[in-house]
């Protein structure tokens, strides 16, 4: 019988991800922590870290935007990366850890001097986000250089880099010249506290009227106009449909009798969380024709409910959505007519839709949950530590034997 792996002591970096209250990483961190504690070892938070000079960085960014119409990513700068490294080094001093685990923490790791192995995980890297996400576009040339260089230094400092999609992993290897032996793809799970049972999820039945569920805070980036186009095109194809928008308010020109808008739902409030769950339960498709997406945890959540996703093949979406399994992706240039034709075809096929529901839930159970993530990450970390363990040469007894020969 093989010996069970020992429990590790893990330093969990949370400098930026807990400091920003709006960051989705706050919730994700809690699920990662639980998974690591279940399958890997004890997790000790190192952070959050407050740096007073961050307010100066914000001011410089505002001045740059006013004067030059360019952004300054102060957080991803040499100055703040070095400040974080010095503070983290002091926090780690005198403590014994087996590994440092940093979600979205390449900046914190870039200049950190430590002998402790570092594991980074992020849904995307700076190279993949430059000119892809709005906040990573139109940067000052110096800021663009420092942000990308800090990312490169952090990735090269790490012993392991974990991404939830092949898209992000490929860019890490190609743009930062990193060997594939330390870059791994492990999909993230769902940020749902109580997902439905498999039996409940797979009992889903199509509605008489095709119900499309659109969720996101950024109407433009998530493809809101295309979702509205699709609603109109479905009518032309003889499909009665309705579109529920949750998380944002469309511009005034987007109005329709079968368009419902829910500006915001707070998962921390039980009644609103339940309303969100009901949208997953009663919709026929999660419909998100997104323009840019690092991963899309909402697709994992939809799969947990057996809800097929209709979306765009862009960024890291393919890490969460597999064509014909838990949904379909169309090319980035697809507009309302193409999405309407796809949705109409799937919606009219009773057996095909039922199979898609079953496969969506199975995909969640197989790989889009935090237990699967925790097991995979634990195995990768232990393998890395085993490789790094010093080899003690065997003591030869040749001379002793020769003396008495």
For residue 99, the cross-strand partners are 10
Side-by-side strand order, sheet with 210-215: 259-262, 241-246, 210-215, 285-288, 309-312, 327-330
> Which distant-in-sequence residues (6+ apart) come within 8 Å of 275 by Cβ?
262, 265
Helices of type H across 115-223: 126-129, 141-157, 166-175, 198-201
Residue-wise pLDDT for 54-78, tens only, equals 899 999 999 999 999 999 999 999 9
Q: Which residues pair with 312 in a beta bridge?
A: 330
Q: Which of 160-183 are b and which e, b meaning 16 or more Cβ less than 10 Å from the residue's Cβ?
A: bbbbbbebbbebbbebbebeeebb
The token pair that represents 287 in the structure block: 């419909």
Whether pLDDT at 2 is above 60: no
pLDDT at 400: 42
What are the extents of the domains in the chain? 8-189+369-388, 198-366
Residue 232 and residue 336 in contact, taking contact as beta carbons nearer than 8 Å:
yes
- pLDDT score recorded for residue 389: 81
pLDDT in tens, 221-263: 999 999 999 999 999 999 999 999 999 999 999 999 999 999 9
What's the predicted TM-score (pTM) here? Answer: 0.92
Q: Into which CATH architecture does domain 198-366 fall?
A: 3-Layer(aba) Sandwich (3.40)
8-189+369-388 CATH, one of 3.40.50.2000, 3.40.50.300, 1.20.5.50, 3.40.50.720: 3.40.50.2000
Q: Which residue has the tokens 């998974």?
A: 35
The pLDDT of residue 161 is above 60: yes
DSSP labels, 227-261: HHHHHHHHHHTT--EEEEEESS---TT---TTEEE
**What number is the average pLDDT over the span 309-316?**
98
Give me the pLDDT at residue 3, please: 58
At 390 the pLDDT is 73
Q: In what order do the strands lie in the sheet with 8-13?
A: 41-46, 8-13, 99-103, 118-121, 160-163, 183-185
Instruction: For residue 370, give both structure tokens.
Output: 């935090």
Percent of the chain clearing pLDDT 90 (strictly above)? 84
> For 404, which DSSP code?
T
């Amino acid at each position: 019988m093989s010996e069970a792996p020992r429990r590790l002591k893990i330093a969990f970096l949370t400098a930026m991800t807990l400091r920003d209250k709006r960051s989705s990483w706050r919730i994700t961190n809690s699920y990662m922590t639980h998974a690591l504690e279940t399958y890997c070892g004890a997790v000790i938070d190192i952070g959050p870290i407050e740096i007073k000079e961050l307010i100066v960085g914000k001011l410089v960014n505002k001045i740059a935007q006013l004067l030059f119409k360019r952004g300054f990513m102060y957080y991803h700068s040499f100055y703040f990366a070095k400040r974080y490294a010095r503070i983290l080094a002091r926090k780690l001093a005198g403590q014994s850890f087996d590994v440092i685990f940093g979600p979205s923490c390449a900046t914190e790791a870039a200049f950190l001097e430590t002998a402790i192995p570092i594991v980074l995980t992020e849904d995307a890297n700076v190279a993949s986000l430059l000119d892809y996400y709005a906040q990573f576009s139109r940067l000052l040339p110096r800021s663009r250089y420092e942000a990308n260089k800090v990312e490169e230094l952090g990735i090269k400092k790490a012993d392991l880099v974990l991404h939830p999609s092949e898209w992000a992993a490929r860019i890490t290897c190609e743009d930062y010249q990193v060997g594939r032996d330390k870059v791994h793809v492990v999909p993230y799970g769902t940020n749902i506290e109580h997902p439905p049972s498999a039996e409940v999820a797979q009992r889903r039945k199509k509605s008489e009227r095709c119900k499309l569920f659109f969720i996101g805070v950024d109407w433009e980036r998530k493809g809101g106009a295309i979702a509205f186009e699709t609603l109109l095109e479905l009518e032309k194809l003889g499909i009665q449909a309705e579109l529920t928008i949750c998380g944002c308010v469309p511009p005034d020109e987007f109005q329709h009798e079968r368009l419902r808008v829910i500006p915001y739902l707070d998962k921390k409030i039980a009644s609103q969380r339940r309303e969100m769950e009901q949208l997953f339960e009663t919709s026929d498709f999660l419909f998100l024709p997104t323009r840019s997406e690092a991963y899309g945890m909402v697709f994992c959540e939809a799969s947990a409910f057996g809800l097929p996703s209709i979306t765009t093949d862009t960024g890291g979406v393919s890490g969460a959505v597999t064509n014909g399994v838990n949904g379909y992706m169309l090319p980035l240039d697809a507009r309302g007519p193409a999405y309407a034709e796809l949705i109409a075809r799937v919606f009219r096929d009773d057996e095909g839709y039922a199979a898609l529901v079953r496969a969506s839930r199975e995909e969640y159970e197989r790989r889009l949950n935090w237990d699967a993530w925790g097991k995979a990450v634990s195995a990768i970390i232990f393998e890395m530590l085993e490789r790094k363990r010093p080899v003690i040469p065997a003591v030869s007894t040749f001379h002793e034997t020769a003396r008495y020969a």
